[in-house]
Amino acid sequence: MTGKDIDILHTWMQLPHVAPFWKLNVSRDRFACYLDRTLHAKNKRVFLVYVDDLPVAYLMAYSIFQDPIKDYYEAKSGDLGMHLLIGPREFLNKDDGLMLIRAMTAFLMKKYECGRIIGEPDVRNRIVIPILKRIGGERFGTITMPHKKAALIIGDRNRFYRYLMTKDVEFRKEPKLEEDTFWKAGAPCEKEPSN
């Protein structure tokens, strides 16, 4: 992780289309501490997403069973949590947003071989929620979390791959996810702990 990576993410957190949802429009030092904790959490992996060598998105995969989201729905073995943000505003539209979210979802499905991806975007997010539904995510109502009202979206692997087989999918240049940009230990997609 370089200072440049922190600067990119910190800048994105200040943007009007990001700040209300992530609530991390704080000082650079405070953000660097948050990011350091995230990078060293055993239940999370983070990635930068690039298009033509331009960083355009941030992706976090996390273990459902080590996160409060497990208390809001019937979690299953192999579920994987996902947080994402698209940084540059010009990429936050129905075409580029679709391309990015589709690529991030496919990346996580392939990398972690998870059966479902769980998302809880803020209910006010008028761009991400429709895209998640378009690629096969199902909305399972609204949940009230301590920090937000969220749409509970569950993306089933089979539905997602059926979506990829439709003629609705136009493959242009797909983004590249930089796994090596951030150091991380542990895999977030795990089996439910047996207690």
Q: Name the DSSP letter for residue 64.
A: G
* pLDDT digit string, tens, across residues 50-90: 998 899 999 999 999 999 999 999 999 999 999 999 999 99
In the CATH scheme, what is the code of domain 43-172?
3.40.630.30
Contact criterion met (CB below 8 Å) for 80 and 110? no
Q: Give the pLDDT confidence score for residue 94 in this predicted structure.
A: 83
- How far apart CA 97 and CA 95 sit, in angstroms, is 5
Using one digit for the tens of pLDDT, what is the confidence trace for 104-157? 999 999 999 999 999 999 999 999 999 999 999 999 999 999 999 999 999 999
Q: Measured between alpha carbons, how far is 48 from 84 in angstroms, rounded to an integer?
A: 10
Phi, psi of 141 (to 5 degrees): 85, -170
In this predicted structure, the answer to whether residue 193 has a pLDDT above a threshold of 80 is: no
Residue 86: predicted pLDDT:
97
Most confident range, picked from 17-31, 161-175, 176-190: 17-31
The contacts of residue 162 (CB under 8 Å, 6+ apart) are 136
Most confident segment among 15-19, 92-96, 169-173: 15-19
Q: What is the percentage of the chain residues whose pLDDT exceeds 90?
A: 75
The size of the chain, in residues, is 195
Cβ-contact 108, 117 below 8 angstroms = yes
Q: Using the predicted structure, report yes or no on whether residue 34 has a pLDDT greater than 50.
A: yes
pLDDT over 80 at 3, yes or no: no
Give the number of other CB atoms < 10 A from CB of residue 53: 6
Q: What is the pLDDT of residue 82?
A: 98
**How high is the pLDDT of residue 191?**
45
For the chain, which residues make up each domain, given as ranges?
Answer: 43-172
What are the CA-CA distances from residue 47 to residues 1, 56, 82, 164, 183 (Å)? 11, 11, 11, 23, 9
Q: pLDDT averaged over the chain?
A: 87
> Can you give the pLDDT at residue 186?
35
Split at pLDDT 50, 70, 90, the class of 184 is: very low
| Rounded Cα distance, 40 and 44, in Å | 8
Mean pLDDT confidence for 19-24: 95
The residue ranking higher by pLDDT, 166 or 59, is 59
Q: What is the pLDDT of residue 171?
A: 52
